[in-house]
Structure 1
Amino acid sequence: MTDTTPPDDTTRTETDRPAVLVPLAVLEGQSLPTGTPDLLANARVVLLGYHVIPEQTAAEQARAQFGETAMAKLEAFAGALANAGATVETRLVFTHDERTTIDRLIYEHECLAVLVPNGIERVESVLVALRGTVGVGRNTCLVAGLFAESDVDVTLYHALNESETIADGESFLNGVRADLVERGMDPERIEVVVEEAEAAVDAIARHGESHDAVVMGETDPSVTTFVFGMPSEQVAERFLGPVLVVQRERPEE
């Protein structure tokens, strides 16, 4: 594991930075997409290079054969993130189960979010899709941590459920907006959108088309299944840009 700290970083401490896991299939040709360093310039990035190996292959054997090549690629990606301003920790893992590995590292490094790393030319606006009150504080911590010191516009979006009124939805999002402002965000850069939608995922995709990145919570299992249950190219086809999936807080064992 390698720690990379950007030069002259005097304005933010390590604890101020939201932790984001960025998983890359480093030996399968997956690279750091365009725009990722700018998107995560204010983050503590856990850069995971992973390679799925056959059940009969030992991780130590794969590391001995491919570790040097994989680590060289990972260090180059870490350098690009650090040059943009992020602090970076790198992990290289040879695994038989990528989802188990990703889940384990989320909790080991206390990551607020996982990035579905699709490319984008620039980050000027972000859609934050919120489905419920559980875990909202983690969403605001991530959004403010990444964008409070930037000129990024944020749209808070909520699709009503059957028991909610427009007034309920607006009250919910205005509370989130107040929290973001308290965390240092410019209120003029925060828009609130509430609507009735038959399929929340379709609505998020539709609104996401007019933004550069999407933030969505893991509080709704259907949203989690959508993001991680489809190949990355299908996610890119729907959203066209990077997706930050805010993770549930790990329950006390």
Structure 2
Amino acid sequence: MTDRPNVLVPIQILEGESIPEGIPELLANAHVVLLGYHVIPDQTAPGQARMQFEERAAPRLDQFEEILEKAGATVDTRLVFTHKAQTTIDRMIYEHDCVAAIVPKATRPPEEVLVAVRGTVGVDRIARVVAGLFGDTDVSVTLYHLAAEDATDEDVQTLLDGVADRLVELGMDEDALDTRVGRGKNPKQAIADAADEFDAIVMGESDPSIATFVFGMRAKQVAERFLGPVIVVQRERPQTEAETETETETDGNPNEDD
């Protein structure tokens, strides 16, 4: 079996959010980085917010950790009081080497998962996530590609067969894999239409960053089209980007403040 992929699960810990139904089963083979965060006003110091809210937030985070571990996941938790939610989420993704983040929405225990394949870029990362999460399960995986107008059926099938071969190399059962090709639609709408019969979507992120995709306007667009969870596999960050990233936060263990 492929190593457990690191997956970020962000929860607004004091805003009534919880672990939706079906998410523990979906991530049973993951190493979950469970981020409980609370956005505070600019004039509020993180330390002040921690003294005010930690006693209420920490037990909720512990409860969610227990739910995920009971399903089979391994879990690291982080409790953060932040002025900048997206910056914190993005930092957690990179600090904890998360290959994916999830838009957590309710689903049934997964039986059918759609994997959107946009092209050859990032395919190996997607394959490692899919094989890591579902390679040792009875989940059926459908590889879906929305073909360009000038792409031949043969070219598209070669692409999808290559992804399928890589999944088999990583331990997936060939009989659990299927392929599907779409044409002539807006990509987001096409994926959502194709996903109607599935329990979850796995797809690569769009530029410029996973945080923008998962928690910005594009997330709202996806949510309007698909009601289930979306696992977004992050692009591999260039080293220069990592070196130039600036972030000022005070670390704790396991708690961190912006």
The TM-score, its normalising length taken from structure 1, stands at 0.89
| Preserved contact between residue 100 and residue 234 of structure 2 (Cα < 8 Å) | yes
Separation of aligned partners in 1, 2:222 and 2:200: 12
| Preserved contact between residue 166 and residue 195 of structure 1 (Cα < 8 Å) | no
| Preserved contact between residue 131 and residue 220 of structure 1 (Cα < 8 Å) | no
| Preserved contact between residue 116 and residue 244 of structure 1 (Cα < 8 Å) | yes
Separation of aligned partners in 2, 1:80 and 1:225: 28
Q: Which residues of 2 match residues 148-187 of structure 1 at below 5 A? A: 148-187=135-174
The TM-score, its normalising length taken from structure 2, stands at 0.88
Match of residue 32 from structure 1: 19
Q: Which residues of 2 match residues 43-192 of structure 1 at below 5 A? A: 43-192=30-179
Separation of aligned partners in 1, 2:209 and 2:187: 9
| Unmatched tracts of structure 1, length 5 or more | 1-11
Separation of aligned partners in 1, 2:53 and 2:197: 41
Separation of aligned partners in 2, 1:225 and 1:196: 27
- The 3-state SS of whatever aligns with 2:77 is strand
- The 3-state SS of whatever aligns with 1:90 is strand
- The 3-state SS of whatever aligns with 2:11 is strand
One-letter code of the match for 1:77? F
Match of residue 195 from structure 1: 182
**How far has the Cα of 1:163 moved from its partner?**
3.8
- The 3-state SS of whatever aligns with 1:82 is helix
Separation of aligned partners in 1, 2:211 and 2:140: 24
Separation of aligned partners in 2, 1:57 and 1:90: 23
Provide Cα deviations, 1:90-118, integer angstroms capped at 9, x if missing partner.
00111111110010000000001000000
| Unmatched tracts of structure 2, length 5 or more | 241-258
Separation of aligned partners in 2, 1:74 and 1:110: 21
One-letter code of the match for 2:74? T
**How far has the Cα of 1:221 moved from its partner?**
5.8
| Preserved contact between residue 20 and residue 45 of structure 1 (Cα < 8 Å) | yes
Q: Is 2:246 the counterpart of 1:246?
A: no
Match of residue 3 from structure 1: none
| Preserved contact between residue 24 and residue 50 of structure 1 (Cα < 8 Å) | yes
Shift of the 249–231 alpha-carbon distance from structure 1 to 2, 3 Å rule, reads: closer
**How far has the Cα of 1:50 moved from its partner?**
0.5
| Preserved contact between residue 18 and residue 145 of structure 1 (Cα < 8 Å) | yes
Provide Cα deviations, 1:8-51, integer angstroms capped at 9, x if missing partner.
xxxx7xx8110000000010000010011100000000000001
**How far has the Cα of 1:74 moved from its partner?**
0.5
Q: For this pair of structures, how many residues does the alignment match? A: 240
Q: Which residues of 2 match residues 210-229 of structure 1 at below 5 A? A: 210-219=197-206, 227-229=214-216
**How far has the Cα of 1:198 moved from its partner?**
2.7
One-letter code of the match for 1:115? I
**How far has the Cα of 1:228 moved from its partner?**
3.2
Separation of aligned partners in 1, 2:59 and 2:47: 18
| Preserved contact between residue 24 and residue 71 of structure 2 (Cα < 8 Å) | yes
Q: Sequence identity, in percent?
A: 58
RMSD: 2.0
